[in-house]
């Protein structure tokens, strides 16, 4: 049997006395997209940092593409193709757009491969193609987010972990960012996306992981996730025994992601 592309097994970690993740396990196949959702402080970014090697595990193991990556330095994990785009960008602010892209592509040995990677980035984000000489810190928030993603695509990412890519973006730019992620998976890149826009992210993901208090509250296919979220957060039930409790497992509704009970927002959930 082929082992999963990414295998996270019983991972626990903390910061000083603060426990951030507890016994988290899941696996992902190549080319799939996983949506990680949960309330503020649920451990979503800690999971991203753990996979990227930015924080040490207290226990557990992470394997990627046939090798154990837990315990390895983050630059070596990145060299294996695990690219983390943190919330709030991850760009060199004093460098221009073009210089940011060139730095991300330094592992590409030929001029033609660099040109190809740059063309791909500019094709996905035409707004950047018009301003190669502009300093990153003078870009708008949305353009900086595009640059952060463009950099990750040119880094030859195999597993892309994006932390709240829609943060602070206008709706039109959110569409563009999500479309670029969809294109990334169409090219075989495996994506883990941490998002507050639950309905949007579920509509383009394959799997969903709900974190609560640092532990896995639920995981499975997005088709089932919609029903779980609908029941737990919107307070309606398909059960004949009446409505379920608002938060049956002690899970808080992720901030800004779900409507208050009875308000009937979240149009994607039938
Ligand atoms: P948010 O949606 O608000 O970004 P999150 O789900 O990404 O939250 P984490 O950032 O992973 O959550 O934080 C999980 C827990 O670990 C929280 O209780 C947080 O306060 C704590 N934590 C995170 N980073 C640190 C740190 N560097 N030092 C101490 N505690 C931390």
In terms of domains, do 132 and 220 share one? no
pLDDT in tens, 91-123: 899 999 999 999 988 878 888 988 888 888 888
Q: Determine the pLDDT at residue 268.
A: 26
Rounded CA Rg of the chain:
19
pLDDT in tens, 190-234: 999 998 778 888 989 999 999 999 999 999 999 999 888 877 766
Task: Please tell me the total count of domains within the chain.
Answer: 2
Question: Residue 177's pLDDT band (boundaries 50, 70, 90)?
Answer: confident
Position 7 in a domain: yes
- What spacing in Å lies between the alpha carbon of 50 and ligand 1's midpoint? 12
Nearest CA to ligand 1 atom 25: 15
Total residues found in the chain within this entry: 270
Find the domain containing 41 and state its range. Answer: 1-81+158-258
Choose one of 16, 17, 46, 209 to mutate for the ligand 1 pocket test, by most ligand atoms within 8 angstroms of C-beta: 46
DSSP letter string over 184-220? HHHTT-EEEEE-S-HHHHHHH-SEEEEEETTEEEEEE
The count of C-alpha atoms lying within 13 angstroms of the C-alpha of 183, restricted to the half-sphere facing its C-beta, is 14
Position 194 in a domain: yes
85 beta partners: 162
Whole-number Å distance between alpha carbons of 40 and 22: 16
Average pLDDT, the chain: 82
Tokens matching residue 111: 């001029």
In terms of domains, do 74 and 151 share one? no
Q: Determine the pLDDT at residue 258.
A: 34
What beta strand segments (E) does the chain contain? 6-15, 18-28, 33-38, 59-64, 67-68, 82-85, 159-163, 190-194, 207-212, 215-221
Q: Determine the pLDDT at residue 234.
A: 61
Backbone angles phi, psi at 184, to 5 degrees: -65, -45
In terms of domains, do 31 and 42 share one? yes
Position 238 in a domain: yes
Which atom of ligand 1 is the closest one to the Cα of 48?
Answer: 11
Final residue belonging to a domain, choices 156, 171, 203: 156
**Residues 62 and 70: beta-carbon distance below 8 Å:** yes
- What spacing in Å lies between the alpha carbon of 8 and ligand 1's midpoint? 19
The verdict on the CB of residue 43 being under 6 Å from ligand 1 is yes
- What spacing in Å lies between the alpha carbon of 209 and ligand 1's midpoint? 17
Q: Determine the pLDDT at residue 145.
A: 85
Nearest CA to ligand 1 atom 1: 40
88 pLDDT higher than 90 = no
In terms of domains, do 139 and 22 share one? no
Tokens matching residue 162: 């994006």
Query: What dihedral do alpha carbons 222, 21, 164, 207 form, nearest 10°?
Result: -10
Q: Determine the pLDDT at residue 171.
A: 81
The residue whose two tokens read 């307070």 is: 235
- What spacing in Å lies between the alpha carbon of 18 and ligand 1's midpoint? 9
pLDDT in tens, 184-202: 888 889 999 998 778 888 9
- Read off the CATH number of the domain in which 171 is found: 3.40.50.300
In terms of domains, do 188 and 70 share one? yes
**Residues 67 and 25: beta-carbon distance below 8 Å:** no
Final residue belonging to a domain, choices 103, 124, 156: 156
Tokens matching residue 85: 């785009």
Pick the more confident residue, 8 or 113. 8
Question: Residue 71's pLDDT band (boundaries 50, 70, 90)?
Answer: very high
Final residue belonging to a domain, choices 137, 156, 175: 156
- What spacing in Å lies between the alpha carbon of 13 and ligand 1's midpoint? 11
In terms of domains, do 185 and 163 share one? yes
Q: Give mean pLDDT, residues 138-161.
A: 87
CA 246 vs CA 230, 250, 269: distances in Å: 10, 9, 17
Which atom of ligand 1 is the closest one to the Cα of 211?
Answer: 6
Position 263 in a domain: no
The verdict on the CB of residue 46 being under 6 Å from ligand 1 is yes
Spatial strand order in the sheet of 18-28: 18-28, 6-15, 59-64, 67-68
Q: Determine the pLDDT at residue 143.
A: 85
Pairing label, strands 6-15, 82-85: unpaired
Q: Give mean pLDDT, residues 34-47.
A: 94
In terms of domains, do 191 and 244 share one? yes
47 pLDDT higher than 70 = yes
Contacts of 111 (CB under 8 A, 6+ apart): none
Tokens matching residue 249: 């497992």
Question: Residue 235's pLDDT band (boundaries 50, 70, 90)?
Answer: low
pLDDT over 70 for what percent of the chain?
A: 85
Nearest of 242, 249, 214, 213 to residue 228 by alpha carbon: 249
In terms of domains, do 120 and 237 share one? no
Q: Determine the pLDDT at residue 248.
A: 31
Identify the helix (H) or strand (E) that includes residue 62.
strand 59-64
Backbone angles phi, psi at 216, to 5 degrees: -75, 120
Residue 114, SS3 per DSSP: helix
Choose one of 44, 213, 214 to mutate for the ligand 1 pocket test, by most ligand atoms within 8 angstroms of C-beta: 44
Q: Determine the pLDDT at residue 237.
A: 43
């Amino acid at each position: 049997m082929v082992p999963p592309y990414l295998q996270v097994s019983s991972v626990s970690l903390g910061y000083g006395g603060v426990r951030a993740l507890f016994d988290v396990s899941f696996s992902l196949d190549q080319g799939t997209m996983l949506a990680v959702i949960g309330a503020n402080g649920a451990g979503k970014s800690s999971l991203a940092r753990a996979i990227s090697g930015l924080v040490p595990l207290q226990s557990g193991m992470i394997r990627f593409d046939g090798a154990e990556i837990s315990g390895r330095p983050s630059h070596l994990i990145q060299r294996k193709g695990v690219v983390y785009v943190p919330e709030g960008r991850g760009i060199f602010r004093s460098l221009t757009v073009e210089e940011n892209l060139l730095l991300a592509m330094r592992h590409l040995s030929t001029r033609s491969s660099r040109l190809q990677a740059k063309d791909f980035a500019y094709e996905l984000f035409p707004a950047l193609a018009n301003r190669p000489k502009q300093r990153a810190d003078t870009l708008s928030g949305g353009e900086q987010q595009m640059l952060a993603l463009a950099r990750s695509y040119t880094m030859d990412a195999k597993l892309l972990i994006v932390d709240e890519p829609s943060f602070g973006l206008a709706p039109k730019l959110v569409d563009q960012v999500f479309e670029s992620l969809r294109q990334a998976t169409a090219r075989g890149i495996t994506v883990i996306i941490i998002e507050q826009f639950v309905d949007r992210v579920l509509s383009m993901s394959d799997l969903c992981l709900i974190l609560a208090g640092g532990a896995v509250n639920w995981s499975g296919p997005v088709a089932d996730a919609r029903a779980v979220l609908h029941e737990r957060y919107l307070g309606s039930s398909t059960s004949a025994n009446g409505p379920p409790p608002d938060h049956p497992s002690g899970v808080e509704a992720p901030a800004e992601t779900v409507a208050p009970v009875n308000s009937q927002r979240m149009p994607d959930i039938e």
